[in-house]
Amino acid sequence: MIGFVSAGFNPPSSFTKEELDYLESSELILVDTYTSPNYLKEFGGKKLTFVGREKLENFEWILNEKRDISIIIPGDSFSATTHFTIYKEAILRGLAVRVFYNSSIFPIAATRLGLHLYKIGPPVSLPRFKDRFRPISPYEKMLENFKSGLHTILLLDTEPPLELHDALEELFWMESELKGALFGPDREVGVVSGLGTPDEKVIYGKLETLKEWKNGKVPFTIVVPAKLHFQEKEALDLFRI
């Protein structure tokens, strides 16, 4: 059987009892290091096999294993399409599968700030800029959400994890290029850092203020609010810096 083990935010502490039982019985434990930063280094003395993008996208070898397997996935298993593709192929081949559920950055990054669930739009990924790689599509997607009255959960690049200061600089650059007034001088956004860990930080403020903030640790997630309900405004005031 292949078990898709959603690890939550802070494994092994965030594993459920069901997940712990299945991991104990697994003969092969794979740890996804591709879709999100991984902080699980050991588990109960068992050997862990760390798998990145290439091994997950070329997953034939997983389906050919003739033993009980756990695939440990940060957050919730099917937040990324990569894992569902493996699941689908396993089903089509008649293999036994089981899915274990846990907490995910969707939608908790936004609801942790007190934003309303029904107003959260499609998430957006922000890659690390390189000399000839400066995509503007993240800005366009965030702007589309904003104009539709939807909040955006902005996921930062994880290879290596993008620091908050660098992410904000990228937002400033995209604003200078597209001039959609999404990240003007008075724009306020929320940031969650180390969500679900003892070092968790939740803040809200203007971009220029957040750029100088040094107290958080990767991974960071930025939340760009749209038009706010009065209850959301009151909630965000709790986290204002």
87-114 residue pLDDT tens: 999 999 999 999 999 999 999 999 999 9
The sign of the CA dihedral 39, 41, 43, 48 is positive
Q: Classify each residue of 56-85 as buried b or exposed e, where b means 16 or more C-beta atoms within 10 Å of its C-beta.
A: beebeebeeeeebbbbbbbbbbbbbebbee
| Conformation bin of residue 8: beta by default, left when phi > 0, alpha when psi is -120 to 50 | left
pLDDT at residue 36 in the model: 79
Give the per-residue pLDDT at 35. 82
Same domain, 48 and 144: no
Residue 85 is which amino acid? T
> pLDDT, tens digit, for every residue of 162-203?
999 999 999 999 999 999 999 988 999 999 998 888 899 999
Q: Are residues 93 and 109 in the same domain?
A: no
CB 225 within 8 A of CB 190: yes
Looking at the structure, do residues 120 and 233 belong to the same domain, yes or no? yes
Q: Looking at the structure, tell me whether residues 221 and 153 fall in a common domain.
A: yes
Residue 139, domain CATH: 3.30.950.10
Q: Are residues 115 and 90 in the same domain?
A: no
Residue-number span of the structural domain to which 68 is assigned: 2-100
Structure tokens of 17? 């009892």
* Bond prior to 123 in cis (omega within 30° of 0): no
Give the mean pLDDT of 25-50.
90
* CATH at 53: 3.40.1010.10
User: Do 11 and 95 share a domain, yes or no?
Assistant: yes
- Tell me which residue of 56, 12, 58, 66 sits closest to 34, measured CA to CA: 56
- Condensed to tens digits (0 to 9), the pLDDT of residues 3-15 reads 999 999 989 999 9
Q: How many domains does the chain have?
A: 2
Indicate if the pLDDT at residue 58 is higher than 90: yes
Spacing of C-alpha 117 from chain mean position: 17
Instruction: Check pLDDT > 90 for residue 217.
Output: no
Q: How confident is the model at residue 160, as a pLDDT? A: 81
The pLDDT > 90 percentage for the chain reads 84
**Are residues 112 and 223 located together in one domain of the fold?**
yes
77 and 55 in a single domain? The answer is yes
Confidence at 206, pLDDT banded by 50, 70, 90: very high
